[in-house]
Amino acid sequence: MATLHIEISDQKVAALKAYAEAQGLSFEKWLEQLVEHAGPSFTPESQGLDTRPIWEVIQDNMKDVPPEDLAALPRDGASQIDHYVYGHPKRDV
């Protein structure tokens, strides 16, 4: 179980407690129900976000790249990134 600390004005807390009591619930129980009800709608999956590991995303994106295009990529691309991206002179490595 985790604890969450949220700064809320005393006036807002009083209003929320009154609302919970009007529902016949303690403030804590009302908050638990609120979180349980809203929780699933805030998952990354429900927001359309890709939750796969980055290497799986890269593999998926690269699967349709023709082998001849991969072969044409520079072998020193990582060490000479500034040259290929920004046009700087190649560095001695």
What are the residue ranges of helices labelled H in the chain? Answer: 10-22, 27-38, 54-62, 67-71, 81-86
**Residue-range domain boundaries for the chain:** 10-42, 54-86
| Vertex 78: Cα angle to 63 and 68 (nearest 5) | 40
Q: What is the pLDDT of residue 31?
A: 87
Q: What is the pLDDT of residue 92?
A: 87
Whole-model pTM? 0.40
Q: What is the pLDDT of residues 6-49, one digit of tens each?
A: 898 999 989 999 988 998 999 989 888 888 777 556 667 767 78
Distance (Å) of CA 5 to CA 1, 2, 8:
13, 10, 10
Q: What is the pLDDT of residue 5?
A: 86
